[in-house]
Amino acid sequence: MITRRFLLGQGVSVSFLLPAAALAAGQRHEAAQHPAALPAARPRALPLVLLDPGHGGKDPGATGVSGTYEKHIALAAAQELRRQLEASGRYRVALTRTRDVFVPLEERVGIAQRHGAALFVSMHADALNDPRVRGASVYTLADAASDAQTAALARRENAADRFGGPAFRDAPPEVAHILASLVRQETRAGSARMARGVVSELHRDLPLLQNPSRHASFMVLKAADIPSVLVEMGFMSNRADEAALRRPDHRAQVATAMKRAVDAYFNSGPGGTLTARRMAG
């Protein structure tokens, strides 16, 4: 059984994230026993939500039936979602790109990791050979695809696979493997929770693809320590979806549903889980 005592005995820094009420109670007890032991409380930093508008620059993504490029739809929708998230005052928000430029997939993952993102949301609008198919869908990372259509989507979206798990410097190999496994499990659980929330909120206002919660080995979701989802807002190959995604009011509706999902994700909180800190060396 892997315990905190065992990990600390191996020289690995770990922390247990406790629910806010329990943490506050513990701090009050400690302060009562040792009044000078605790520093003055500091305001907690707002969580960083990293939005990833798909494609860009030389990579237009899918092309709609009337010639609309996915890269423009994805950026416009991400900018609207950023506006709504920032207006709430609850989050810091960053984008992997803010203009029509090409950003490699591995760099998008790197941006999220370097900035310590608490949540990564990649935004897309796919195309299929069948123009009758329409509706939004949400994807999470898995080694095997949930279905053939999702496997094909992952092949189209992926360019490389260079990221593995988080690095735990100075940890013995067997401990590093255990920590990486714990982080991956925690991250995938968070990703699945976020995906369920997005599906639930989109379903309130928008048409969804049949079986809208899917998974595959998407390169852009491979930040092993950041819960990540990929949202397909509709199909550019479907005339109704493309026309809707071209309209600012529809994109605002999509963003509103996604903001509700982000709110629900952070409201539920990651408390009570074991989080390994990457050692600074």
Q: What is the CATH number of the domain that holds 243?
A: 3.40.630.40
Tokens of 224: 């092993």
Q: Distance between CA atoms of 129 and 35, rounded to whole angstroms?
A: 68
Token readout for 254 is 């999509």
| Most confident segment among 1-15, 23-37, 128-142, 230-244 | 230-244
Contact between 105 and 55 (Cβ < 8 Å)? no
pLDDT value at 189 more than 60 = yes
Number of domains in the chain: 1
Q: Which of 195, 187, 190 is nearest to 139 (CA)?
A: 195
Residue 155 identity: R
Predicted confidence (pLDDT) at residue 40 exceeds the cutoff of 60: no
Alpha-carbon 135 to chain mean position: 20
- What are the phi and psi torsion angles at 3 (to 5°)? -120, 165
Q: Is residue 39 part of a domain?
A: no
- Indicate whether 202 belongs to any domain: yes
Q: Is pLDDT above 60 for 165?
A: no
Confidence check: pLDDT of 93 > 90: yes
Assess if residue 236 is contained within a domain. Answer: yes
pLDDT of residue 245: 98
- Least confident among 96-105, 138-147, 230-239: 138-147
Residue 111 predicted with pLDDT over 70: yes
- 123 within domain boundaries: yes
More confident residue, 153 or 72: 72
Task: Tell which phi-psi region holds residue 237, choosing left (phi > 0), alpha (psi between -120 and 50) or beta.
Answer: alpha
- Tokens coding 171: 């940890």
Domain that holds residue 80: 48-276
What is the C-alpha R_g of the chain?
20
Helices (H), the chain: 4-9, 20-33, 70-88, 105-114, 148-157, 173-205, 239-245, 248-268
* Tokens 């989507």 sit on residue: 153
Residue 252 included in any domain: yes
Tokens of 89: 């005052």
> Is residue 109 a part of any domain in this protein?
yes
pLDDT at 178 over 70: no
- pTM of full prediction above 0.75: no
Record the tokens describing residue 248, joined without a space. 């600012």
Average pLDDT of 239-268?
A: 97
Q: Is residue 4 part of a domain?
A: no
266 falls within a domain: yes
